[in-house]
Amino acid sequence: LILLVVQTCFGLILQSLWVGIVYTKLIRPKKRRHTLLWSRQAVISLRDKYLTLQVRLGEIRSQSILLDAQIRMYFISRRITQEGEIIPLDLLDMNVGLDTGRDRLLLIWPLVIEHRIDSKSPLWSLDRKQLASADFELLVVFEGVIESTGLLTQTRHSYIPDDIVWGARFEPMLRNDPDTPLTIDYSKFDALCWDTCTKPCSANEL
């Protein structure tokens, strides 16, 4: 009888462990990151009279939202210090709304992430011609908590100067016709249109 009880308890423990392993694999946040989309290109154009760098981020899964979502952007380049030291991969945090709260996202439809090119930006003195020959990489990091599981998921994307289009904007994706409900046209996710108001000069020269 004792042996039967031990075998039963061991079987229940083993079954519980197996169910836990399977459940953990099913809810792994790695799968969720594949539902997040980054625009193939970034753009630089005027917005609210300021030159801005913009990328688009979208989420194709509508069953649950990501909570406490936050966006970060980094500028990676080679830097030489005043003492002559060479830092091959210098990492600089770029402002995407930390001071205004715009770095906190509610990703219920595709959003355009904006970095205002001001005097603190590493792009401040860069014009369209200089951008074409520049050597840097932009790393954009998005993370949030999966509503259904409470697990943290993260996705990253990088852009080099060849991926940045000067003087363009992202095409609107939201359709808000009076006779139909609000819909999102994902075929326009990477679509761009030219912004004739954006000059080829740097933000410093505006």
pLDDT digits 0-9 by tens, 146-203: 887 888 889 999 999 999 999 999 999 988 777 777 788 999 999 999 999 999 999 9
Output the CA torsion 76→141→53→43 (10° steps): 100
- CA 70/CA 101 separation, integer angstroms: 10
Segment 37-58 mean pLDDT: 96
CA atoms within 13 A on the CB side of 64: 13
Q: Is the pLDDT of residue 4 over 70?
A: no
Query: Residue 140, SS3?
Result: strand
Among candidate residues 161, 50, 145, 164, the one with its CA nearest the CA of residue 107: 145
pLDDT digits 0-9 by tens, 111-129: 999 999 999 999 999 999 9
Summary mean pLDDT of the chain: 87
pLDDT digits 0-9 by tens, 14-43: 776 665 554 454 455 556 557 899 999 999
Q: Is the pLDDT of residue 61 over 90?
A: no
pLDDT digits 0-9 by tens, 131-142: 999 999 999 999
Among candidate residues 61, 34, 33, 55, the one with its CA nearest the CA of residue 43: 55
Name the one residue in this structure whose structure tokens are 């697990």.
151
Q: Is the pLDDT of residue 205 over 90?
A: yes
Would you list the domain boundaries of the chain? Answer: 28-205
Q: Is the pLDDT of residue 110 over 90?
A: yes
CATH class of 28-205: mainly beta
